[in-house]
């Protein structure tokens, strides 16, 4: 599933190509991919609108339109948002096509259809419960270690579960939760409230590091993730623990352990993480 670094890569790539363009019209071949408002209203809301900015909040892509609403894209498990020439053959599982005034097309493709498209003001989407109230952005300079420590202090859940909670920290998913806990030397099963201020500081630093290194490497293509040009990222070859259960830890050589936390496969080292 695309997480913060993958979504950030797509957003940074699309931004210079989309800002200032006008969406001439939109065609939906699988209308239920639109979750808000009704598909017909969605089509009307984007048609003729100029794109003012392209941003990201957590794992959400926010394309702000001249009408003061945002076209919001959540990639779910297998969603891909690509910018293509109009003559490019339409790939299977393409559910929405946005025709741009420069002849190019922004296409949403999603084989497993867990993704969603929304249109509205961020506040309206929050109220309609189409978007969750997201926690702080972990790569923002304004997010401090003390904030993370306070969040962990009040939680009885395992550390891994807190990192996955989008209301606690926005944008972290299974890959970067495991990677940052390994970097920080913290066990994912550990009850969050038992973490010391010093350990929270280490986790804060590890989270930022894991995410920033992954952004520099254009994300992890561990499954179907592709960037806006259909290319794979490079971070999957550099992951320390994710997807490596049973393989040797790069630090101590012991086989990595796998457990399930919050319904997600979690990989860690029993010797290096406490
Ligand atoms: Zn180890």
The one catalytic residue among 35, 56, 59, 190:
59
Does the residue 243 lie in any domain?
Answer: yes
DSSP bridge partners of 135: none
As a whole number, mean pLDDT of residues 88-103 equals: 97
How far does the chain reach from its first CA to its final CA, in angstroms?
Answer: 27
Last residue of a domain, one of 77, 99, 127: 127
Predicted local confidence at residue 189, as pLDDT: 98
CA of residue 267 to ligand 1 center, whole Å = 11
Whether residue 149 sits in one domain with residue 123 = no
Tell whether the model's pLDDT for residue 62 goes beyond 90.
Answer: yes
Whether residue 174 sits in one domain with residue 123 = no
Predicted local confidence at residue 113, as pLDDT: 96
81 sits in which H/E element: strand 80-85
The one catalytic residue among 2, 5, 138, 188:
2
Predicted local confidence at residue 207, as pLDDT: 98
pLDDT tens per residue, range 218-271? 999 988 899 999 999 999 999 999 999 999 999 999 999 999 999 999 999 999
CA of residue 69 to ligand 1 center, whole Å = 48
Does the residue 134 lie in any domain?
Answer: no
Active site residue 59: yes
CA of residue 71 to ligand 1 center, whole Å = 44
pLDDT tens per residue, range 216-231? 999 999 888 999 999 9
As a whole number, mean pLDDT of residues 186-201 equals: 98
What is the phi-psi region of residue 134: left when phi exceeds 0, alpha when psi lies from -120 to 50, beta otherwise?
beta
> 49, 65 in Cβ contact below 8 A?
yes
Q: What is the DSSP letter of 141?
A: T
CA of residue 217 to ligand 1 center, whole Å = 24
CA separation for the pair 75, 81 (Å, rounded): 8
Which residues touch 41 (CB under 8 Å, ≥6 apart)?
119
Does the residue 257 lie in any domain?
Answer: yes
Whether residue 123 sits in one domain with residue 154 = no
CA of residue 56 to ligand 1 center, whole Å = 34
Q: What is the CATH number of the domain that holds 49?
A: 3.20.190.10
Predicted local confidence at residue 223, as pLDDT: 81
Whether residue 149 sits in one domain with residue 120 = no
Active site residue 3: yes
Q: Which of 107, 106, 78 is CA-nearest to residue 224? A: 78
Whether residue 87 sits in one domain with residue 21 = yes
Q: What is the CA radius of gyration of the chain?
A: 20
Whether residue 256 sits in one domain with residue 174 = yes
Does the residue 113 lie in any domain?
Answer: yes
Whether residue 200 sits in one domain with residue 158 = yes
Whether residue 20 sits in one domain with residue 113 = yes
Whether residue 238 sits in one domain with residue 164 = yes
Give how far Cα 1 sits from Cα of 22, 66, 200, 219, Å: 29, 30, 26, 11
Round the average pLDDT of the chain to a whole number and report it: 97
As a whole number, mean pLDDT of residues 116-134 equals: 94
Predicted local confidence at residue 14, as pLDDT: 98
Q: Which of 187, 179, 170 is CA-nearest to residue 206? A: 179
CA of residue 150 to ligand 1 center, whole Å = 28
Q: What is the CATH number of the domain that holds 206?
A: 1.10.8.50
Whether residue 160 sits in one domain with residue 260 = yes
Whether residue 117 sits in one domain with residue 10 = yes
The one catalytic residue among 21, 104, 208, 264:
264
As a whole number, mean pLDDT of residues 96-100 equals: 98
> 63, 18 in Cβ contact below 8 A?
yes
CA of residue 264 to ligand 1 center, whole Å = 21
Tell whether the model's pLDDT for residue 161 goes beyond 90.
Answer: yes
As a whole number, mean pLDDT of residues 192-204 equals: 98
Side-chain-facing half-sphere of 172: CA atoms under 13 Å: 31
DSSP bridge partners of 61: 56, 73
List the domain range (segments joined by +) for residue 121.
4-127
Active site residue 137: no
Structurally, how many domains does the chain consist of? Answer: 2
């Amino acid at each position: 599933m695309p997480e913060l670094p993958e979504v950030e890569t797509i957003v940074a790539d699309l931004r210079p190509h989309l800002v200032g363009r006008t969406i001439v019209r939109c065609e939906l071949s699988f209308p239920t991919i639109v979750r808000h408002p009704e598909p017909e209203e969605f089509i009307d809301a984007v048609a003729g609108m100029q794109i003012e900015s392209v941003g990201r909040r957590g794992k959400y892509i926010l394309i702000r339109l001249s009408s003061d609403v945002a076209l919001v894209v959540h990639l779910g498990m297998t969603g891909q948002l690509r910018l293509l020439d109009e003559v490019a053959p339409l790939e299977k599982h393409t559910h929405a096509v946005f025709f741009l005034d420069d002849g190019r097309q922004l296409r949403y493709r999603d084989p497993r259809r867990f993704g969603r498209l929304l249109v509205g003001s961020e506040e309206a989407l929050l109220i309609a419960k189409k978007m969750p109230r997201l926690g702080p952005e972990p790569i923002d300079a304004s997010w401090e270690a003390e904030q993370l420590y306070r969040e962990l202090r009040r939680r009885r859940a395992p550390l891994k579960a807190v990192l996955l909670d989008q209301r606690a920290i926005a944008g972290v998913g299974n890959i970067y939760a495991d990677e940052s806990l390994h970097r920080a030397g913290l066990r994912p099963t550990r009850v969050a409230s038992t973490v010391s201020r010093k350990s929270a500081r280490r986790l804060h630093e590890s989270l930022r590091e894991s995410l920033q290194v992954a952004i520099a490497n254009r994300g992890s293509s561990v499954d179907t993730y592709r960037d806006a040009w259909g290319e794979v990222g490079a971070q999957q070859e550099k992951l320390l623990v994710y997807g490596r259960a049973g393989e040797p830890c790069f630090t101590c050589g012991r086989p990595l352990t796998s457990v399930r936390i919050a319904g997600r496969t979690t990989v860690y080292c029993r010797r290096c993480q406490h």
